[in-house]
Structure 1
Amino acid sequence: MVLSANPGLDQISIIESPDMGDYLSSIPIIDLSSSSSPETIVQACKEFGFFKVINHGVSIDLVEKLEAEAVKFFAMPQSEKDKSGPSNPFGYGSKKIGRKGDVGWLEYLLIATNAEPFSESSIAFLRDSSSSSFSSALYDYISSMRKLNCQVLELMADGLQLEQRDTMSKLVQGSECDEIFRLNHYPLCPLPHEGFNGGLTGFGEHTDLHLISLLRSNSTSGLQIALSDGRWVLVPSDPEAFFINIGDSLQVLTNGRFRSVKHRVVANNLESRVSMIYFGGPPLAQRIAPLPELMEEGEQSLYKSFTWGEYKEAAYKTMLAAYRLEPFQL
């Protein structure tokens, strides 16, 4: 399927950049080699719903190899990229995000990676022998992300003092788990007028649906997160680190103790940006509800119990910026 038309510039909103203030330095940096990481992770999840991890053990050469393959793909002629157009909903897309009319200054690849060797991803170029280097780099990267995803979730369990440290990580392991990988490219964009401090919306404000998402970007900044007081904060890029977003499902599992962070991306006219995001989700039939061992005496659940499949389907019917947990609150 090829996109029949793309939105024009006048349909993509602009974002004024927030001031670069001292509060940027308060974004947590978690050293995964430190014995204190479980406690600092829990603190970051409660205050920000967001943190950066260093000493993560993922080979930078592996990361850069996949990024190089992505750059080569996005540099292909548009007619070639369109051959890998979206199919339920995986594949290549441009400007249009989701089913409800959200748009942004980006192009992307959305890949279902839970079926190895990614045969169910519905992306023509991955089935082409000429792109075996892309498929190989993707396989190695996803393997590393699975390990990092479980490691972070188990450190969270340690920090929450759960009896079983795999209480959450086991939800995202196994062949039935719902695993998605996203490559985003934000090309250089025109400024609306001279002297404007900001850029076009690359990816509109939203929260992620999964437990956590693992983000890596190149050296170009553009990511912004919302603080609890509503202020938007610019996140300086660090291509050697990974950024972790807390998602809606983990907010529910912790009965609101962890905050699902609202975030967005702004494109600019100086440098293009490439980001790679891994989402490890549970099986579609997995029920999501607050963990009983976290609940204190007399504490009431803030959310209805639902399956991961039910939540995904409901969320995909909304706009990006919608508070998608609202129908599931008690």
Structure 2
Amino acid sequence: MGVASPTPLRTKKTRAVGIPTIDFSLESSILSQKIVQACEEYGFFKVVNHGVPNHMIATLEKEATDFFAKPALVKQQAGPPTPFGYGSKNIGFQGDMGQLEYLLLQTNPHSISQASKSISANPTSFSCAVNDYIQSVRGLACEILDLVAEGLKVPDKSVFSRLIRDVESDSCFRLNHYPPAPMPLNKWDPSPPLNTASSRVGFGEHSDPQILTILRSNDVEGLQICTHDELWFPVPPDPNQFCVFVGDALQIHLP
């Protein structure tokens, strides 16, 4: 879960293209075909009717907003990230470029319960919000991976989702918070000098090493996806949808 950077920096051309949006109310065989096609052609798609309850999303978002609104010294009590915990840093000018603060947690109820003591004045409220959200989104992730396996005609339909369901899974949960934009979005220069304030972005060009990333963005512009022909296209934010990214670990299994 995160907020898209409101000041994207791209040195390459951008264009608007149709973004694959998949309705999870469709029949399973149709879903599997659409998901595999989106994975192969874009490595990315959005899902609607995903089944994650709105009240869970709203509760978690409030907990996250309350935490990041705290003074820096208070937030630092939840860090440093080793690798889990609170972190605040400027990302380097190679690869992931930008500025952000974040909470990185293990998707383990006990670990979250322990971490919550230094995150929230009401640890039970925070841990319940996070655990409920993780459980629901994990279900969505497993369903997506089972449909990918079905679409690829893999004999064992749970071959991918087992990586997430396993009690020893190394899945992570991350909350990102980005600094305010230095200028309105509609005035940004797509190729400014790197030493100017307008070059600041929340997260730069990168791919995700894991099998799958499921992102919910607040209603903020900025997220862009790079196509196979190295053109960038914007992904308009929609709080009612989830963005799904194919990670490097899954990409090697796709044609």
Give the TM-score normalised by the residue count of structure 2. 0.84
Separation (CA, whole Å) in 1 of partners of 2:97 and 2:68 = 18
Residue identity over aligned pairs, in percent, reads 44
Letter in 1 for 2:175: L
Matched ranges for 1:224-303 at <5 A: 224-252=224-252, 254=253, 256-257=254-255
* Local SS of the residue matching 2:158: coil
The answer for the alignment partner of 1:82 in structure 2 is 76
| Pairs aligned (count) | 237
- Counterpart of 2:118, as a letter, is F
CA distance in 2, matches of 1:14, 1:54: 25
Q: Which residue of 2 aligns with 1:289?
A: none
Residue 183 in 1 paired to residue 202 in 2?
no
Correspondent of 1:48 among 42, 49, 73: 42
SS of equivalent to 1:53: strand
Contact 2:81/2:87 (8 A) holds in 1: no
**1:39 alignment partner, SS class:** helix
- 8 A contact 2:207–2:247 mirrored in 1: yes
1: distance between equivalents of 2:221 and 2:183?
Answer: 16
What residue in structure 2 maps to residue 170 of structure 1?
A: 162
Q: Secondary structure at the match of 2:145?
A: helix
Q: Which amino acid aligns with 1:88?
A: T
Structure 1 segments unaligned to the other structure (5+ residues): 1-12, 258-330
Instruction: Tell me the amino acid that sits aligned with residue 238 of structure 1.
Output: D
Shift of 1:29: 0.6
* Separation of aligned partners in 2, 1:165 and 1:195: 48
The answer as to whether partners of 1:214 and 1:244 remain within 8 angstroms in 2 is yes
> Which amino acid is 1:68 matched to?
K
- Check whether the contact 1:53–1:241 (CA below 8 A) recurs between aligned residues: yes
Structure 2, gaps ≥5 residues long? 1-6, 191-197
Number of the residue aligned with 1:125: 118
Q: Taking structure 1 as the reference length, what is the TM-score of the superposition?
A: 0.66
* More strand by percentage: 1
Alignment of 1:52-201 (within 5 A): 52-97=46-91, 104-114=98-108, 116-119=110-113, 121=115, 124-126=117-119, 130-191=122-183, 195-197=187-189, 199=198, 200-201=200-201
Q: Return the letter of the residue paired with 1:169.
A: S
The residue type paired with residue 59 of structure 1 is P
CA distance in 1, matches of 2:106, 2:161: 19
* Relative contact order higher in (CA < 8 Å, ≥ 6 apart): 2
Distance 1:246 1:54, change over 3 A: same
Task: Point out the structure with the larger helix share.
Answer: 2
